[in-house]
Structure formats: C-alpha cells, structure tokens
Amino acid sequence: MSRISIIGMNRQQVRAAILVLSFILMSVTFAYISPYGMMVGLANGVIAAGLIFWILAFALTFVFGRAFCGYLCPMGAEQELTDRIVRIDLRTVPYLRYLKYLLAILWVGGAVFLAAGAGGLILDPLFGMGSGLPPWPAATYVFFYAVTVGVFVLVIVLGRRGMCNYFCPMSVVFMAITTIKDRIRIPSLHLEAESQDCISCKKCTGACPMSLPVQEMVEAKTMQNPECIVCGNCAGACPKGAIRLAWFWHDK
C-alpha cells in the first residue's frame, strides 16, 4: 500500500471517529449551535451562543473551507452514519435544491431583522441555557428531536446527505464564503488534482458524501465546487493518489 493511500486511510478513520463523537454529543452541543436558540436570543435583544458560534464558523471557512460540514457538524454526522447503515444514492429532485437558498434568505434576513428591531444587543452566551449544562428547557429538546428525526427522514427519502443538498440554510452561507475565498485564492483548505494521473475508475465519485461528480471535476481540472465539504474521501479513495488536499494554490 502506498504512503498516500495510508495517509488517506488514517485521515478517514480520524474523520469517522470525530463524526461519531459529534453525533454522540449532539444532545449537549445542539443547544450551543441551535439556530432556534440564536433567533430566540435576537428576538429578546441578546447575542446568544448560537449567533457567536455561527459567526465564528463562517469566519473560519475562509481558512478551512467547509471542514465544519465535513468533520464536525452533528447533523452531517447523523446523515453519514445513517448512510453507512442504509446506503441510498442521492435522488435528483428538480428545483428542490433551490429551497435551501430560500431558507437561507429567511434565516439570515430574519436574524438581521430581529437584530435591527431589538434596539440594542447584549452579550449573553448562556441565554436560555441556565448554567450552560443539560437538562435544557423543554422547547430546546422539542426542536432538537424534531431536527434529529427530520434529518433521518430526509436521508431515507432523498439519499446521501439529503439535508445538506436540499434543505440546510447554513450550507448556503458556507458555499458563498467558499466561492469567494476560492476565487481570490486565499490560502485555505481545498482540493487539487493531477488529471494526467486519473484512470477514470470513478472511485472518487463513489466516495463523495455530497454526490459530486469528482472524476469529471478531475478530468476537467476544476476541483473547486462550493458543495465540496473538503472531507478528503475522494483523495483517500483514489488508487493513484491523483487527488490531494492542499493549503496553498498551485495554478496549472
């Protein structure tokens, strides 16, 4: 086994362990990243943990790309764990993908509207969370279980990462930032490939949790796709080591 293959395997083992841990801790961490808690906080003139978290996550995307989606997101973890049990290819549903853009507009627009109408904001990261440790308020658990069940249903109905592909409003913001940092070539985590080493086996495409046409991207020398979550699955699956994760840009 080549050194590149070993590195790819180890990376994916680490990623899988992080995803499992993220899913196990979801009932605890959810309160800190909850869009619901964020919006309730803004409605009460408070900068809650959720708002702080998402601002930080979006800012880090300029450096790490969509690594949060690929390594840390508990909903992403739930989708990939479900996919390991019930492998369902992503279903193509015409026009449904536009729904997440509408949800993003409503989410971001709603946050701006609530913040503007609050007449001033105060910082309270533990707003609505008591001491900052579970048990959480009943409303938080209701939202948590609704999202958990909803994500599972979306994977069963729509296939691999169905929520990410069709419903996640946060992904739209991640995609916009990724597009910006890729276009202006900010040193950051991204995919690169040596198209001449590609043997068109399509193992990279099959390994992509976002169902991207990776092999076509390699041959076309266009590895930048805002839907890419820089998980590195494709790099680990490539038998020739033609795909790699990189920090600095190497123009061909």
Residue 77, domain member (yes or no): yes
Angle subtended at Cα 236 by Cα 233 and Cα 239, rounded to the nearest 5 degrees: 130
Residue 216 lies in a domain: no
pTM: 0.92
- Containing structural domain, residue 89: 3-186
Determine the Cα–Cα distance for residues 191 and 197; give it in Å rounded to an integer: 15
pLDDT in tens, 176-194: 999 999 999 999 999 999 9
pLDDT at position 140, please? Answer: 84
- In 3D space, the residue among 197, 193, 196 whose CA is nearest the CA of residue 213 turns out to be 193
Each residue of 33-80: pLDDT tens digit? 999 899 999 999 999 999 999 999 999 999 999 999 999 999 999 999
Q: How many domains does the chain have?
A: 1
Whether 75 is covered by a domain: the verdict is: yes
Determine the Cα–Cα distance for residues 223 and 191; give it in Å rounded to an integer. 6
User: Residue 168 domain-assigned?
Assistant: yes
User: Which residues touch 81 (CB under 8 Å, ≥6 apart)?
Assistant: 19, 20, 23
Whether 237 is covered by a domain: the verdict is: no
For residues 230 and 225, what is the distance between their CA atoms, to the nearest angstrom?
A: 10
User: What's the pLDDT tens digit per position in 196-238?
Assistant: 999 999 999 999 999 999 999 999 999 999 999 999 999 999 9
Cα separation, 148 vs 168, in Å, equals 13
**What per-residue confidence (pLDDT) applies to 130?**
86
Domain contains 105:
yes
73 within domain boundaries: yes
Q: Is the pLDDT of residue 158 over 80?
A: yes
In a domain, 123, yes or no: yes
